[in-house]
Structure 1
């Protein structure tokens, strides 16, 4: 079926922070939405559809956030797809534009999390991961003192090492790289640089995984405005528009429930989504320069190298040894610092990845800029499971300048009243009591 072209025309995000009580989700989610609208140079009146993603929150929290911009009565769909929630919202928004249903849509993701490791919210019903947890307990046991997700990804990494000869040092090198990258990102929750030895000697979480190889819980938000070709032309957005040349979502295959621990981390759905995305885009992994992938644990980054086709089967660790996963190598992977250091507010992660890649393709990212970036690849996965793989390309190779008076890719400012006024609906039915408290 022929689909219309879809472009990202505006992006924005809040700084990712440690979970704390004094800042609530309506505030930082509004910040991301206002920034994305200002980046696109349009108000909320231009948005005809919104997909809003979050994992921890009550129903219709998306409406609670967006009503601050205006009660324009557009469809607002709330999305929960575990750690791939943000990209699932983007997938929904892109589909609305690609189908011709609307000309402009918003994908917004946010999370307000509790401190400490992730745990199940409900104890009186079946856990969605009970099937893979049962297989894991039978094959590798279960450590009641370690987080369940760390055990799934940790065991997958252990199995990869047993099968292909990778070592714990390879996992530590991934984390060292991502912490080093995050020092250049003003939106990162953590910006400290650690030596390889410090990563290796950090407190153990599970198996070879140390604390510095595991993503933290985080609060934060990200937003993307996507639009049709006609919309881009109408508002003269070609210089900043970034085309979504391919986007594929996949769920688990039966391999996830086999005794192969590598597959417990959802590797097969990554393989499927990536292969289809390359085919749709008409490119190969060799055409990509910059990648934001889902490194919730260092082990998952290792596995994803292979899943995305960046290396042959069983050779993921050679990408690390060659330096082809960082600046100066074949790919720059997680220039933002990734989930490990930038943070992982579940609903926001996929949209923060999109934001970073759009900034990279616009050549805005300063001292973390990837040279000659033409194609960008995004990978966002959630256990249970869903994965979204997206490939981006700048629509016009000409340069563009930020329209907000500063470069948001290198400076994480809060929004002002003027920023809000530009973004908010101009319709008379906007409820005044919902105006932002800035």
Structure 2
């Protein structure tokens, strides 16, 4: 397999629904930023993988025709919240296999306000088994499903390990401190643990509003190329993808009768293990992580799934400050989904953008000193999980 370098990244600031440009304009802006960062023109891109969840067929073509109409293959990707990193996964495969030398991965989303919901009401939902398991395990049908999924998973951790609600508030407060240094974060106001606890209650004893990420709209993109292509064109080769894995649900998702399994803990654990084994490193070697914090609860669960702390050790990990600057590993220096927002198709490529900047040493006030290995975790219920390890060369 050929080495794969990330030579260009770009994203636009995410915005609340109704306060953004049309999807094709957002996507074109992010693509232009990634091309400019790489120092190439669109005519040099040989394939494109374009991710979005809420959009009609071939919206990827509509978006990229704003950039150029070069006749290249454009593949539309939809994998729920892991859509952006799935586009990245496919782009990396194309370059690693030699099918193409320079590939674009693009993600965008035009979200609606409020909780996520089904678009098609005349056919079985891809989440029907998830909904049935959630109803059986946690009930609370009056609460929006996404909150029930991840709140229920967090509740399972609380019940088994005695994890306090305040620990999730600490995670949200940490996210806000990181976001204060990120010019593209939607929410940059620092909030305290006490303010998170005092925000409106979404599920008594389980979740407050500030523990959930907001729906947002936006776009992000990355240019991937082979080492030979980068060398021939004088492109930046300082960051490469050292290992990557994508997993889907297994028997434990429903068989374990555990909400943590329903929301993909085993998918994340398996993908992380595959990445560590392929790269010959361990979680103790990771300097910085961008993980899928759609809820503060999922950030805590992901610490354990990614091996950053022992099973049951996430609360201590948080309380000891091992998830931030000066601790064991900096998690979500961008502020994460909790602060940037979560435009589903763009999220994975926004994570990629942050980590590439960290490894290049261009993250300014967010910079982690001497960062060499960066881990990305992007999860989509239904389900898919992509874990990517980047290396500074």
Separation in structure 2 between the aligned mates of residue 16 and residue 188 of structure 1, nearest angstrom: 7
Residue 140 of structure 1 and its aligned partner are, at CA, apart by 1.8
Written as runs of structure 1 = structure 2, the 5 A alignment for 1:388-407 is 388-395=386-393
Match of 1:243 among 240, 250, 272: 240
Is 1:4–1:228's contact at 8 Å kept on the other side of the alignment? yes
Separation in structure 2 between the aligned mates of residue 269 and residue 22 of structure 1, nearest angstrom: 33
Q: Aligned residue for 1:198?
A: 195
- TM-score, normalised relative to structure 2: 0.98
Q: Aligned residue for 1:320?
A: 318
Match of 2:385 among 379, 384, 387: 387
Is 2:213–2:337's contact at 8 Å kept on the other side of the alignment? yes
Is 1:172–1:298's contact at 8 Å kept on the other side of the alignment? yes
Answer yes or no: is 1:167 the counterpart of 2:164.
yes
Q: Aligned residue for 1:26?
A: 24
SS in 1 for 2:185: coil
SS in 2 for 1:109: strand
Is 2:20–2:217's contact at 8 Å kept on the other side of the alignment? no
Residue 139 of structure 1 and its aligned partner are, at CA, apart by 2.3
Residue 143 of structure 1 and its aligned partner are, at CA, apart by 2.4
Residue 125 of structure 1 and its aligned partner are, at CA, apart by 1.2
Q: Aligned residue for 2:145?
A: 148
Q: Aligned residue for 1:281?
A: 279
Q: Aligned residue for 1:434?
A: none
Deviations 1:82-104 (A, max 9, x none): 00000000001110101100000
Q: Aligned residue for 2:339?
A: 341
Separation in structure 1 between the aligned mates of residue 343 and residue 135 of structure 2, nearest angstrom: 28
Residue 21 of structure 1 and its aligned partner are, at CA, apart by 5.8
Is 1:232–1:241's contact at 8 Å kept on the other side of the alignment? no
Q: Aligned residue for 1:103?
A: 101
Separation in structure 2 between the aligned mates of residue 186 and residue 307 of structure 1, nearest angstrom: 30
Deviations 1:58-81 (A, max 9, x none): 110110111112211100000000
Residue 22 of structure 1 and its aligned partner are, at CA, apart by 5.7
Answer yes or no: is 1:66 the counterpart of 2:64.
yes
Match of 1:331 among 329, 333, 349: 329
Q: Aligned residue for 1:432?
A: none
Is 1:160–1:166's contact at 8 Å kept on the other side of the alignment? yes
Aligned residues: 391
Q: Aligned residue for 1:376?
A: 374
SS in 2 for 1:155: helix
Match of 2:128 among 127, 130, 140: 130
Separation in structure 1 between the aligned mates of residue 109 and residue 24 of structure 2, nearest angstrom: 10
CA RMSD of aligned residues (A): 1.0
After superposing on structure 2, the runs of 4+ consecutive aligned residues of structure 1 that deviate more than 4 Å are none
Match of 1:266 among 264, 267, 273: 264
- TM-score, normalised relative to structure 1: 0.88
Note the residue ranges of structure 2 that are not aligned, 5 or more in a row.
none
Separation in structure 1 between the aligned mates of residue 126 and residue 203 of structure 2, nearest angstrom: 22
SS in 1 for 2:108: strand
